[in-house]
Chains A and B, each alone.
Chain A
Amino acid sequence: MNSKLSNNLTLFCILLVVTGIMTVFLPAQFLTLRNFTSMGLQFPEYGLLALANMLAMITGGIDLSVVSIASLSGVISASFLSQYATLGLPVGTVILVGILIALTVSVLCGLLNGVIIAYARVPAIIATLGTQGLFLGISIIITKGHGIGGFPPAFLFIGNGSVLGMPTQFVIFVIIALLVGLVLTRTPQGFSMLMYGSSPQVARFSGINNEMVLIKTYVLTGLLSGVASLVIISGVNSIRPGYGADYLLLSILIAILGGTDPAGGFGTVLGLTLAIFIMQILQSGLNILSFSPFMKKFIWGLLLLAVMVFHYYRRMYALRRAVRKSSQNPPPAAPKEALSGQSA
């Protein structure tokens, strides 16, 4: 509980600092309604993928196929939606079916990941690396590498419309994030995921069906990618296989920045959301200063390592304090060994 609070507090301070810097140095461009609206338009796409990766990481895994799942479900749904004029069905039905197609495809993709990871016991990194190629491959085969576009105008509401003055995808993101938070904190599935992530053995011996937990986890990550695909294709009114390739790094970076432990067992939606805001503000800062995409790539890479190094020092500090405490009250003097683990 304590580490959860301190993690989110740290993130909140970083967010304040980042916002403060932007406000002081770039008030004219940063503090505008237009900038905030455009930020609200941008982050749901990769924010949903980051949520997906957070869930995978909580179970000690990772999902490298999120972008490819979004690509595949987007392509299949798009090939249906773009035919709306010739189908002769009411537009509402077409849109509903299109959405269902995207979500179904993404759930099936997630199911495949889950089965491979849970039953074949393939490490998530390599399983999803493979399916990443597979899903992208299928979407390339379907489209022959071209883009698909031209959807019913009403469908574009998801990516371009607004609800109560807020961009629709922002509202979608908030709802989904709340749901994911509920799943994590209020359902047996969420509890089992956290438990599996801390220790698969303990989870198994407590009577948790590890295989089902993993399958459900990857179905969820798939589903989140499917929702992201809807936001993406609706936002640009087209889809091209390979769109959003940079989002993979971004989604992993955000999940880790949000305090999710890539070794499993820890992660909060609040932390992740704060991390998304931090990243989005940094992004728009870099955009305002017109940094090149290459420079961003460079900075995101550095940031990823910096966050990991920070986590390392925090862990060491906590460990050292625990050792000091235990040496003050003599009896349990064992943990010293843990600290000098790599003295060689």
Chain B
Amino acid sequence: MKALLRRNEFYLLLVIVVFSLAITIVNPAFFTVENMFDLLRSSSGMAILAVGFFVVLLSGGIDISFPAVAIVAQYITVNAIISLGIDNLWLAFAISSAIGIAFGAVNAFFISVFRIPTFIVTLGTMNIFHGAMLEFVGTKAVNAGQLPNAFKGFGLADIFSLHRADGTAYGLSVFFLVLVGVILVTWVILKYTVLGRVIYAMGGNMEAVKRSGFNIRRTQFFIYCYVGFLASIMGIIHVSLIRYSNATYIIDSELLHVIAAVILGGASILGGSGTLTGTLLGVVMISILEKNLVLLGLSSYWQQFFVGLIIVLGVSITHIQKRIQNRRSLALARE
């Protein structure tokens, strides 16, 4: 019980429950199976991005290029599928992941070979990827009419469906299945493989990992390629969800939201600590907030403000907590 009370996740869950209750009182339609399914459908993409960002953060790095990777992978894939004329979802995933992994490798190359700070590398590549796509591929949006059926089908596919009172159906989107897959794979890697433990250790103490003889370069290549890969999957999910591919989507909106979610989930920005559960709870919190601010009587103008506030308060509180803990253990050691 005591251990539970100390966990950041516990408090986050508490906040989510209280917040959900508050919304339910204002709007009873919030706490229905249909709305939960809808929330899962619309936030699966963000959750996948958050998992990727979480892995980078664990290793002590930061990657701000993932929204650019997601949109570039999406836009190029959609256009490639249209011009190839092969309307196949698997092909779309193949093209998109190839782009995502390649972009990740570019990040990893600069980070590991030239030892440039991760933030600066990804700031540069973000502009390179997105700028190059806008310049050389195009800027024209692809609307629902032009969008290949594979995407539309993927967006409408449900794992199972239920019926409303009037006989129309609603269901749990297959996006959720993709998300569960991503979570499982990431969890297994982080928990049960040497690679995962090295990622944790890199965030804790890079020098120690180096001295222990682990191959940091290879691990960094894995981390950034994995983030790129996850971002590219999100790109496909995103276009399937909204049935529209605009060359400037994702880039502005998702970055702060994802970072806010991961930080809210208790992952340390300095690396080395944090849990997947926390990250996912953070995503739940941010998505509920994002979609229900209006219900609480606040206009959508407040969204940016709240996301910023969450990041600022979230990091400040976790860092102050850590300082107090350190001081306590120091005092104990003295006694």
Which residues of A line the B interface, CB within 8 A? 62, 116, 120-123, 125-127, 129-138, 140-141, 144-145, 249, 252, 256, 262-263, 292, 294-302, 304-305, 308-309, 312, 341-342, 344
Interface centre among A140, A262, A341 (most CB of B within 10 A): A140
CB of A296, distance to nearest CB on chain B (Å): 7
**Given pairs A120-B319, A294-B134, 15 additional interface contacts (CB within 8 A):** A122-B316, A126-B259, A126-B311, A127-B312, A130-B260, A130-B308, A130-B310, A130-B315, A137-B308, A249-B123, A262-B117, A301-B124, A301-B128, A308-B121, A344-B217
Establish whether residues B269 and A298, one from each chain, have CB atoms under 8 Å apart when the complex forms: no
Q: For A132, list chain B residues within 8 Å (CB).
A: 308
Query: Complex: how many Å from CA A294 to CA B72?
Result: 13
Taking a contact as CB atoms closer than 8 A, the residue among A301, A302, A308 that contacts B116 in the complex is A308
Establish whether residues A126 and B263, one from each chain, have CB atoms under 8 Å apart when the complex forms: yes
Query: Complex: how many Å from CA A131 to CA B124?
Result: 22
Query: Complex: how many Å from CA A120 to CA B134?
Result: 40
Q: For B312, list chain A residues within 8 Å (CB).
A: 116, 127, 130-131, 134
Query: Complex: how many Å from CA A344 to CA B99?
Result: 28
Establish whether residues A133 and B127, one from each chain, have CB atoms under 8 Å apart when the complex forms: no
18 A–B contact pairs at CB < 8 A? A120-B319, A121-B323, A123-B270, A127-B312, A130-B312, A137-B304, A137-B307, A141-B301, A144-B299, A294-B135, A298-B131, A298-B132, A302-B128, A304-B123, A305-B125, A309-B114, A342-B210, A344-B215
Establish whether residues A292 and B135, one from each chain, have CB atoms under 8 Å apart when the complex forms: yes
Query: Closest chain B residue to A134 by CB distance?
Result: B308
Taking a contact as CB atoms closer than 8 A, the residue among B119, B121, B214, B299 that contacts A305 in the complex is B121
Q: For A297, list chain B residues within 8 Å (CB).
A: 127, 130-131, 134
Q: Which B residues between 258 and 316 are near A, CB-CB below 8 angstroms?
A: 259-260, 263, 269-270, 299, 301-312, 314-316
CB of A60, distance to nearest CB on chain B (Å): 10
Query: Closest chain A residue to B314 by CB distance?
Result: A130
Taking a contact as CB atoms closer than 8 A, the residue among B116, B214, B308 that contacts A309 in the complex is B116
Q: For A309, list chain B residues within 8 Å (CB).
A: 110, 114, 116
Q: For A62, list chain B residues within 8 Å (CB).
A: 119
CB of A214, distance to nearest CB on chain B (Å): 14
Q: For A312, list chain B residues within 8 Å (CB).
A: 114-116
Q: For B62, list chain A residues within 8 Å (CB).
A: 125-126
Establish whether residues B308 and A344, one from each chain, have CB atoms under 8 Å apart when the complex forms: no
Closest 3 pairs (CB-CB, A-B) = A133-B308, A137-B305, A298-B131
Taking a contact as CB atoms closer than 8 A, the residue among B256, B310, B315 that contacts A127 in the complex is B315
Query: Complex: how many Å from CA A200 to CA B6?
Result: 31
Q: For A122, list chain B residues within 8 Å (CB).
A: 269, 315-316, 319
CB of B176, distance to nearest CB on chain A (Å): 28
- Chain B: number of interface residues, binned into ranges: 35 or more
Establish whether residues A137 and B303, one from each chain, have CB atoms under 8 Å apart when the complex forms: yes
Query: Complex: how many Å from CA A145 to CA B128?
Result: 29
Query: Complex: how many Å from CA A298 to CA B301?
Result: 31
Taking a contact as CB atoms closer than 8 A, the residue among B210, B305, B311 that contacts A141 in the complex is B305
Establish whether residues B120 and A262, one from each chain, have CB atoms under 8 Å apart when the complex forms: yes
Taking a contact as CB atoms closer than 8 A, the residue among A120, A136, A145, A249 that contacts B127 in the complex is A249
Query: Closest chain A residue to B62 by CB distance?
Result: A125
Establish whether residues B210 and A344, one from each chain, have CB atoms under 8 Å apart when the complex forms: yes
Majority secondary structure, B binding face: helix
CB of B183, distance to nearest CB on chain A (Å): 24
Establish whether residues A298 and B120, one from each chain, have CB atoms under 8 Å apart when the complex forms: no
Query: Complex: how many Å from CA A82 to CA B127?
Result: 36
B28 within 8 Å of A (CB atoms): no
Query: Complex: how many Å from CA A218 to CA B22?
Result: 38
Establish whether residues B320 and A120, one from each chain, have CB atoms under 8 Å apart when the complex forms: yes
Q: For B121, list chain A residues within 8 Å (CB).
A: 305, 308
Query: Complex: how many Å from CA A58 to CA B116?
Result: 16
Establish whether residues B131 and A296, one from each chain, have CB atoms under 8 Å apart when the complex forms: yes
Query: Complex: how many Å from CA A135 to CA B110?
Result: 32
Q: For A120, list chain B residues within 8 Å (CB).
A: 315-316, 319-320
Query: Complex: how many Å from CA A125 to CA B263?
Result: 13
B85 within 8 Å of A (CB atoms): no
Establish whether residues B301 and A252, one from each chain, have CB atoms under 8 Å apart when the complex forms: no
Q: Which B residues between 119 and 147 are near A, CB-CB below 8 angstroms?
A: 119-121, 123-132, 134-135, 139
Query: Complex: how many Å from CA A123 to CA B114?
Result: 22
Taking a contact as CB atoms closer than 8 A, the residue among B124, B305, B311, B314 that contacts A138 in the complex is B305
Query: Complex: how many Å from CA A299 to CA B132?
Result: 9
CB of B28, distance to nearest CB on chain A (Å): 29
Query: Closest chain A residue to B126 by CB distance?
Result: A301
Q: For A302, list chain B residues within 8 Å (CB).
A: 124, 128
Query: Closest chain A residue to B256 by CB distance?
Result: A133
B156 within 8 Å of A (CB atoms): no
Establish whether residues A298 and B123, one from each chain, have CB atoms under 8 Å apart when the complex forms: no
Q: For B178, list chain A residues within 8 Å (CB).
A: none
Query: Complex: how many Å from CA A249 to CA B122?
Result: 11
Query: Complex: how many Å from CA A311 to CA B121?
Result: 13
Query: Closest chain B residue to A263 by CB distance?
Result: B117
Q: For A294, list chain B residues within 8 Å (CB).
A: 131, 134-135, 139
Q: For A140, list chain B residues within 8 Å (CB).
A: 301, 304-305
Given A62-B119, A135-B308, A342-B210, residue A145 in contact with residue B301 (CB < 8 A): yes
B216 within 8 Å of A (CB atoms): yes
CB of A69, distance to nearest CB on chain B (Å): 12
Query: Complex: how many Å from CA A122 to CA B214?
Result: 29
Interface centre among A138, A141, A298 (most CB of B within 10 A): A298
Query: Complex: how many Å from CA A136 to CA B308?
Result: 9
Establish whether residues A144 and B114, one from each chain, have CB atoms under 8 Å apart when the complex forms: no
B213 within 8 Å of A (CB atoms): yes
